[in-house]
Amino acid sequence: MRIITFNCGADFDIDQFGDFDLFFVQRMPRRMVLALNYEKNYIQNYPTGGGVGGGRGLCIVSKERQLAHNMAFGQFSWWKEPAGEDDAVDTQGKYWQTLTTNMSTSTGLIPIRFINALPSYPEEDGSITDEHRILQTSELLDLVDYHSVLVGDFHSRDDELEDKINLEKRSLTNHIPADAGTFTGENDHTDSIDKIITTKISPIRISNVSVIKYDRDEPTGHWPIAFDLEI
């Protein structure tokens, strides 16, 4: 199964990155969802302005696998309440999405749960703090079990994650290499802050992880990450 995960900063052509079975998007503009020709499941983080196509949210796109009746949603115990209609918080975290789908093995079908999420990051005005980020990230990591995969952006490298959300201490693995360069900042500085997480003893096999650098107007931001999944 070929999968792509992307914390997108703007609209993009979902077909430009090659074939895929599942595509997980964080911060997808709602206007993009309305134009997709594939089966999709979308949950908007906040009802921000911008008309019918306004706002951003989490989206799972599927070419083959059925999404209907296999989706579930969760809500963080804390999220930032918008101060008003002009308070742009649609890039922050409020929900997570899960897709449970059966995969064939030599011993029969095994259900695999995918978790698509984006925890919040601190705001300069103090309305969102590192404490809030850690709380939301911890709630996501608590969801990861033997038969699950968590994808998303944690805003920090693995070696920067605090004790409560430290992957090693939780017996979890991020399958994206530390030098993959999933995010480009100012002055072409790169970091790997996106995640493909399983437990260390999971039967799920992740391989061929690659960061897709493509031509776009904005050189900074996150890049799509493709990988193969087997069990």
CA atoms within 13 A on the CB side of 6: 27
Per the structure, the count of domains in the chain is 1
The answer to whether the CB of 209 falls within 8 A of the CB of 175 is: yes
CATH number where 197 lies: 3.60.10.10
Total length of the chain: 231
pLDDT tens across the length of the chain (231 residues): 999 999 998 899 999 999 999 999 999 998 999 899 999 999 988 765 544 557 889 999 999 899 999 999 999 999 988 766 656 577 789 999 999 999 988 889 999 999 999 999 998 889 899 999 999 999 999 999 999 999 999 999 999 999 999 999 999 999 999 999 999 999 889 999 999 999 999 999 999 999 999 999 998 999 999 999 999
Give the per-residue pLDDT at 87. 61
Going by C-alpha positions, the residue among 53, 46, 24, 48 that lies closest to residue 95 is 46
Displacement of CA 219 from its chain's centroid (Å): 20
Cross-strand partners of 2: 228
Read off the pTM. Answer: 0.94
The CA distance from 9 to 1, in Å, is 25
**Domain housing 15:** 2-230
Tokens of 152: 């998303």
pLDDT of residue 47: 62
